[in-house]
Amino acid sequence: MINRVVFYSSVERNFRSTLLGYLLELQHLENIEIIFLYEQFDSEIFDFLNSKIHFPRIIKFIYVGQYDGNLTSSISQFRKFSKLCSDIITQYLPDIVITSSDFHSIFELFLCRAAKKSNKKIISVACSNSVGEMSRISKWITLYSINTRLNFLPTFIAFGYYTFRKFLAYFVVHYLLPIFSGNLPFYGNSSFLLYRGQSGMRDATYQIVFSEQEKLHFQDSGVPVDKLITIRHPYYSKPIKTIVYNYFRKSFDIDFLILHSAELIGFNNNDLSTISIDQRLDINIMVFKKINEIYPEKFIYIKLHPNVSFNNLEYIKNRYLSEANNILFIDQSVPIESLLISSKIVIDLPRPVSTSIFMNTLFNPNGISISLDLFEEYLGDYYKFNESVEYITNIESFVNFLISYKNNTYHSSFTYGCNQFEYCNMISFMIDKSLIV
């Protein structure tokens, strides 16, 4: 008997970080056919996916185009995706639907609704780091919004206006647009617009997470514990890791790689006061200078987040280049995985809640992953208890690390590859739950 799977990947970075590995795992099943739904991928990834050597079980590619226009204001888009999801389920009759979330986008809401209506099993996969209860990230986003987009207003007015707009958008997208497009509303409080709840609270049969820490975070956000399943991240698997490693490997040789977030302000953990752009850039420059002092012959490669705006990009580059030496900026379009593989030391600058630093512990276990939280800021301690990451909160400790590393006296106590998983891979989980026969 052939088992049929509809597999949807939303954005390319989520596909590279996690879903690519699970998709590769499924290729080991001989009695499976996969209908792959995708968004805009670069041509290199798409050529890779079309390889019958690595992906023999994909029988159909369907482009979704969810992010091609302003989806949240288009009734025609709602109709399009409602029909597309219904047609996919009725035409291909899948046994399982695998998606990156059951609530993070409109298409996923429609896809999971159509699958549930037809009694299909739905597996939702965590593709990036959770930061604990969604209420924490919601609070951070509120603070960030009123201190950037609405900073011309008094704080209490900005807060009220932001809250009103957020709930208005929720009402329009979850209720008005579905009704006007001939569909039922998406009832319930969990929403990517409200930053309330979490994936797994809606139509997913199972919510996959890749650590016990993630499981607790999702549970705290409201996901039923019987839905939560911990599966070893696919890149722990040596055969999968080898394929992905060889695919992403480029001709880089990097001593220090800096991961630079898109957000240029932060908030002190004690009183939530604002850490300004200049405060943050000043301390980043201090970090670069300390590296230059101890390693004057080494270059510092800076990978800016793709979401850094053009104006901020120019400001950052000018500040850094005017005050620090041996800095090279990597094009924002370069996939982060190829850089991680080629780096000896990866330093994650605040806001230090990065999926990339976690990916480095998988791709590059012989390298060193550092989370810098020099302001000890709100949401800055995500990696505080991670056994694979060096968590540093002051410049003196950072300097001591650099000196000990240079003198070959640095000894890592990191533990890579935690073994606390319910299942070692997606296949063992699907077989145990009788999702495939």
Residue 129: per-residue pLDDT: 65
Higher pLDDT, 365 or 197: 197
Q: What is the pTM of this model?
A: 0.91
Distances (CA, A) of 287 to 79, 211, 392, 399: 51, 31, 12, 9
**pLDDT at residue 81, as a whole number:** 94
What are the DSSP E strand ranges found in 291-388? 300-304, 327-330, 343-348, 368-372
Stretch among 111-115, 147-151, 381-385 having the lowest mean pLDDT = 381-385
Residue 317's H or E segment, with its range, is: helix 310-323
Is 60 exceeded by the pLDDT of residue 5?
yes
- The average pLDDT across 143-151 equals 92
Mind listing the pLDDT tens digit for each residue in 266-300?
999 999 999 999 999 999 999 999 999 999 999 99
Note the pLDDT tens digit of each residue in 400-424. Answer: 999 999 998 987 765 555 557 899 9
Q: Which residue has the higher pLDDT, 12 or 226?
A: 226
pLDDT surpasses 90 at 121 = yes
User: Exposed, middle or buried by CB within 10 Å (0-12, 13-18, 19+), for 42?
Assistant: exposed
Beta-bridge partners for 98: 7, 123
Please give the domain boundaries of the chain with CATH numbers for all domains: 3-131+197-232+421-432 (3.40.50.2000), 249-406 (3.40.50.2000)
Query: 3-class DSSP state for residue 323?
Result: helix
Go through 352-384 and write b for each residue having 16 or more CB atoms within 10 A of its CB, e for each that does not.
bbbbbbbbbbbbbeebbbbbbbbbebbbbbbbe
Confidence of residue 430 (pLDDT cuts 50, 70, 90): very high
Residue 175's pLDDT is: 95
Residue 84, pLDDT above cutoff 60:
yes
Q: Which of 130-139, 203-212, 244-253, 421-430 is predicted least confidently? A: 130-139
Q: Which residue has the higher pLDDT, 230 or 358?
A: 230
pLDDT bin (cut points 50, 70, 90) of residue 73 is: low
The arithmetic mean of pLDDT across residues 219-230, rounded, is 93
| Residue indicated by tokens 């990065």 | 354
- Report percent pLDDT > 70 for the chain: 95
